Structure 1
Amino acid sequence: MKSLKVITQIAASAMLLFAAAQPALAAQDPTGSKQTTYPGISSDALEKFGGEAGVHNWVEALFYYIMLDNRINKIFIEHGNVARQIALNTQLEQMVLGGAVQYEGASMSAAHADLGITLTQFNAVVEAAYNACERVNTPYSVCNQLIAALAPFERSIVTR
């Protein structure tokens, strides 16, 4: 179990380095038909995730692991409606993967400003994300694309 945590931390650090060099999320294309995928994400990533239903299942698995983890579960329980967080995270992940959805939540900075999130807590969510990939049988190559795309949010989420 300890080796899994070390591997997860190394992977998260590598993804942060990779993702830090990437520009912000691309704007919706002029036709309005499909969100452009984040740089570094394959055009079929959403399909490989199982489409919208697959992303939703992954987010539910993510929150399953978050709620089991005493390092982070209190933050999610005390500071918001978990069902709404699942819905907003599903929108965000679908958008990042190129889905034609509109994210309706607050900016990452606004949503996390008063929470005092530490890097350890952020990394615990990354660990939960990998556990969710295993739970819903999402290949790591696909999971890594999403997690790398979300990694730049660390600068907006970690405030302590």
Structure 2
Amino acid sequence: FPTPGFAVPSALLADRPRGRACMTYVVISSFENIETGDLQAQGEAVTLFDAEAGARAHFVHRSSALAHDVDAARKSDPEATFITWLLLLRMPLEVNSIDEALEDLELILEQTEVPDDPFGEFVVAYEGRQYAGTGTPDYSQADALRGLEAWLS
């Protein structure tokens, strides 16, 4: 379970099975044109896994797919700025659906004791890039988490 400051809200644990370790891994991705918004197809943004190995494999696959998508988008609009990020979260809960995972993440945001880093040690892996005509700098994890927080709220 998380360290102090990152306690799982008791409301999340109320109806969960007791006596066995529950863990869910959530891969969340974002691909956007900063002028026009989200470019992901429906169903691509959030995926659940019950094992870290599967989540990590999906993380690598999404990273490659996003890079391919950015290449195609930059060919059709070379002046645009694109942002991509991928986040792999470890949730010490059994989550049965994407809607449930999003509700749990929203509750974590509401009840966290560390408002500047609400997901803290739940983050297993992160990758983010900003693609512009001048290069491809990293896109900060803090900015991605703020975007996720805004999306969940």
TM-score (norm 2): 0.29
Between structures 1 and 2, the one with greater helix share: 1
Q: Which has the higher contact order (CA 8 A, sep 6+)?
A: 1
Q: Which has the larger radius of gyration?
A: 2
Between structures 1 and 2, the one with greater strand share: 2
TM-score (norm 1): 0.28
